[in-house]
Structure 1
Amino acid sequence: MAENWLPSLKTATPQEGFELATKLARVGVKLTQPSADVRDKLRATYEQDAAQLIASSQVIAIHFQTVAAANDYWRG
């Protein structure tokens, strides 16, 4: 990915931080599986699988922990 799509982990609010965490997860999937066609085919499987949906939520939560720490948990 050549463009600088992530200039900072700093966000103004926790909600923006969560949105960034979600984007980090999505970009990670996109980099791991660059084919949009394959991702679309796989989506039909995981959107019906509770374990895979929970795993996706866990990835977002881990990214959110990172973003929150980078923002000093929005103190101040």
Structure 2
Amino acid sequence: MADVWLPSLKTDTPQAGFELAVKLSRMGVKLTQPSDQVRSHLRAAYEQDSSQLINASHVIAVHFQTVAAANNWWR
């Protein structure tokens, strides 16, 4: 992956930080499974599975903790 898509964890607002957390999560999935076709096929299974959706939310929350720490929001 040659393109720089994450120049910084710094964001102007918590909402922008949350959006960055979602992007981090999505990019993690994309790097783990680079095939658009496979990801699309798998999406049909997890979009109907509440446990998998909760797990996805957990991953986003962990990324948001990282972004919040980088922005010193817990002072």
TM-score, scaled relative to structure 2: 0.97
The size of the alignment, in residue pairs, is: 75
| Runs of at least 4 residues off by over 6 Å | none
Contact 1:9–1:67 (8 Å) recurs in 2:
yes
Unaligned runs of 5+ in 1: none
What is the match of residue 38 of structure 1?
Answer: 38
Q: CA deviation at 1:74?
A: 7.3
The AA in structure 2 aligned to 1:57 is: S
Task: Describe the superposition over 1:5-25 as per-residue Cα deviations: whole angstroms up to 9, x where unpaired.
Answer: 000000000000000000000
Q: Distance in 2 between matches of 1:28 and 1:64?
A: 14
Q: Distance in 2 between matches of 1:25 and 1:47?
A: 16
Q: Percent of counterpart pairs with the same letter?
A: 73
Q: Distance in 2 between matches of 1:64 and 1:4?
A: 20
Q: CA deviation at 1:63?
A: 0.1
Q: Distance in 1 between matches of 2:74 and 2:5?
A: 22
Unaligned runs of 5+ in 2: none
Task: Describe the superposition over 1:26-72 as per-residue Cα deviations: whole angstroms up to 9, x where unpaired.
Answer: 00000000000000000000000000000000000000000000000
TM-score, scaled relative to structure 1: 0.96
What is the match of residue 49 of structure 2?
Answer: 49
